[in-house]
Amino acid sequence: MLENKSWQSEIQAALWKEFEIFRVMKALQLRTIAYRCGITKNQGVEPFSILVALVFLTFLGKSVHHFVSHCRNSLFDLGGKDVFYRLSTRTSINWRRFMMDISLKVVRHFKSFSSWQQRVLVIDDTVIQKAGKKIEEVSWVFDHSKGKSVKGFSAVVLGWSDRSSFIPVDFALQRSSQKVFKQSTTPEMDKRALAWHRRQEAVKDKPTLVKEMLKRAKQKGLDAGAVLFDSWYCMPKLVSSIFHEIGYDVIAMLKTTPTLTVAVNGKIFSTKRLWECVVPSLRKETLTISNELVSVSCVNALFGGTSVKLVFCKPLRKSKSKKPIILLSTDITLTSAQIIETYGKRWAVEVLFKDAKSKLFFGKNQSRSFEATICFLTLSLVRFIILSYMERINGDFRHKGSLYEELRYEVEELNILAFMDKFLKRLLSIIDGVKETFALFTDKLNDIQGVIRISIENLLFQRCET
């Protein structure tokens, strides 16, 4: 018995050493966080086992259906696809807290490698297109990349960056308040439930969602030198609210229109007229940005009652793809070069959207339930957090594409261990009729089979104690 336990501990130690994703899950304390967020139940398959299988889903299959088919009679065989959908549609799970707790744990680890000025919060939104009309809360939303309205949602994402790694912290789904399909009605539910609050959140406008997410980040102690966003969010009320009420500085692109105004030296100008009336008289300097020569000038101004610094950037070489822009900063002590460099970090959120949609199945779940949509979006962002954490602790800053492929092979190799266990069971059943001849051989196979099965269960999928 002692020899068997020793053998089991050696196998577990070898597995922990071999599979990096296990070490990351243990370091991030995924099981503890899941328990705190309500991912528990009293009978059946343990929810954390289902949760981990859903995290691994992207490495082994394209959908829950393909995943279940691929993993039949293997380590991740936890039952039919209904087991996964039942967990994703539960209204008692706090998916927002689950994602934020994991993000904050990673952020606390990364904070020691950067200064307060280097850390920024980035806000942007992306359209999640859906095909069916019977999906809960689905509506027509305008997709700027396509220039037309599509069926789906708009996901507003808040992320944290220290200029080396990008960690998504929070997100909110937003839909049109009027253009909702009649089939997508909201079911009756308790107004104290988390699911009801998520549905109420979906009809709010984007500036309100941004303020709520930033307030939650501030309450969690997420410090940053500035909040970055593009010209769509750069409105006087939102900038003033973030700077005066929440307490974050803002660096954003200012929209050039004839209706949006700023005050320069006591005179009010539209942002479109600034290039004609203000910029020509300013002192200019030439900076090299991404191998491009840019003429830069700056001036202090009032933007909706908030003192800001405006930085005018105009490429010296004319091009249709590179147009003059105006950057705004509530921290007027920063130089023009610092404002431009800081705002350049906003591009990290675009990389998140590209990687999450192309490789992590962001918004590609096949379910009509609004809770399932929230669940699968959360898990896609959690996968990105895990990849970012592994990329950073490895110290080589590899592109996430190569890291993704390596993890896929690693999970496949882990799955082979379960197939070995099934093979040993089959082999034992074949030689069951000649036990006298193969008695010693049978005992050894039993030992190997038991040790492998117990090691895997203790390592990852522990059975439900209740």
The pLDDT tens digits for 303-356 are 988 999 999 998 888 777 788 899 999 999 999 999 999 999 999 999 999 988
Check whether residue 393 and residue 405 sit in a common domain: no
Check whether residue 73 and residue 147 sit in a common domain: no
Is residue 143 scored above 70 in pLDDT? Answer: yes
Q: What pLDDT is stored for residue 396 in this prediction?
A: 44
Q: What pLDDT is stored for residue 181 in this prediction?
A: 63
Check whether residue 362 and residue 260 sit in a common domain: yes
Q: What is the pLDDT of residues 224-247, one digit of tens each?
A: 889 999 999 999 999 999 999 999
Q: Is residue 465 part of a domain?
A: no
Is residue 398 scored above 50 in pLDDT? Answer: no
Percent residues over pLDDT 70 in the chain:
77
Q: What pLDDT is stored for residue 342 in this prediction?
A: 92
Q: Quote the pTM value.
A: 0.79
Is residue 38 scored above 70 in pLDDT? Answer: yes
Check whether residue 163 and residue 49 sit in a common domain: no
Q: Which of 397, 423, 441 is the last residue of a domain?
A: 397
Q: Is residue 317 part of a domain?
A: yes
> How many domains would you assign to the chain?
2
Q: Is residue 337 part of a domain?
A: yes
The three-state (H, E, C) secondary structure of 389-458, written as one string: HHHHHHCCCCCHHHHHHHHHHHHHHHHHHHHHHHHHHHHHHHHHHHCCCCHHHHHHHHHHHHHHHHHHHH
Check whether residue 393 and residue 410 sit in a common domain: no
* Domain that residue 430 falls in: 2-88+401-459
Q: What pLDDT is stored for residue 69 in this prediction?
A: 76
Check whether residue 133 and residue 12 sit in a common domain: no
Q: Is residue 464 part of a domain?
A: no
Tell me which residue has tokens 């300013």. Answer: 282
